[in-house]
Amino acid sequence: MAYVLVMGGLALSVSFTLGWALWRLGRAALGWLGGGPAAGKSKVKPRARKPAVRKPAASKAATPRKTSTRQSAKTPSEPWALTRWLAARHSLLPLASLALMLYALGRVVVFGLQHRPVEAPASFPQVVDVVGWTAAALLGLALLSLLARWRCRD
């Protein structure tokens, strides 16, 4: 039973990863040709913002103010190229979800293998730990991608 779960999870993850890569490659190829759904959406442009309106300052003798405690209003800068690149990655969250599900399934299998009378492979828990760390890294990147999309929103 554990063999079927492990090999089924491995086959599912490999087929999903290959299918995802082919899907993204197909969308990119259609975008390069100019007629696909990715055309016009390949670059995330920053939202145009209106400059802050300043009121004329009153005379200094009438109302003394501390200029050191108050900063002048600055127009926001344009997002960096890395931020725009992360904002364009819409597939990180589904990939992180898949890695998290594979980690959970691997943990269940490790638990089942530890309670069997037969000796389990010694390196399998290490593989599950690597999948867990990968899932955590992908979730972090997905969170950064969501924040970058918020920064570059129109």
Task: Please state the domain count of the chain.
Answer: 1
**Residue 138 maps to a domain:** yes
Rg of the chain, C-alpha, whole Å? 25
**Residue 141 maps to a domain:** yes
User: pLDDT > 90: what percent of the chain?
Assistant: 11
Q: Is 102 exposed, middle or buried (0-12, 13-18, 19+ CB in 10 A)?
A: buried
Which tokens hold the place of 11?
């086959």
**Residue 103 maps to a domain:** yes
Query: Residue range 120-126: average pLDDT?
Result: 83
User: Which residue in the block uniquely carries the two structure tokens 């969250």?
Assistant: 93
Closest CA to 9 of 139, 148, 134, 128: 128
Which tokens hold the place of 128?
């599950």
**Residue 18 maps to a domain:** no
**Residue 118 maps to a domain:** yes
Determine the Cα–Cα distance for residues 66 and 37; give it in Å rounded to an integer.
54
Q: How confident is the model at residue 15 (pLDDT cuts 50, 70, 90)?
A: confident
**Residue 31 maps to a domain:** no
Identify each DSSP E strand in the chain by its residue range: none
Q: How many helices (H) and strands (E) does the chain have?
A: 4, 0
**Residue 52 maps to a domain:** no
The reported pLDDT for the residue numbered 143 is: 92
Domain of 119?
Answer: 81-154
Per-residue pLDDT tens for 22-58?
Answer: 888 888 888 888 765 544 555 556 666 666 666 665 5
Distances from the Cα of 46 to the Cα of 19, 61, 79, 87, 153, angstroms: 31, 42, 7, 10, 6
**Residue 38 maps to a domain:** no
Alpha helices in 115-152 (DSSP H): 124-151
The reported pLDDT for the residue numbered 21 is: 83
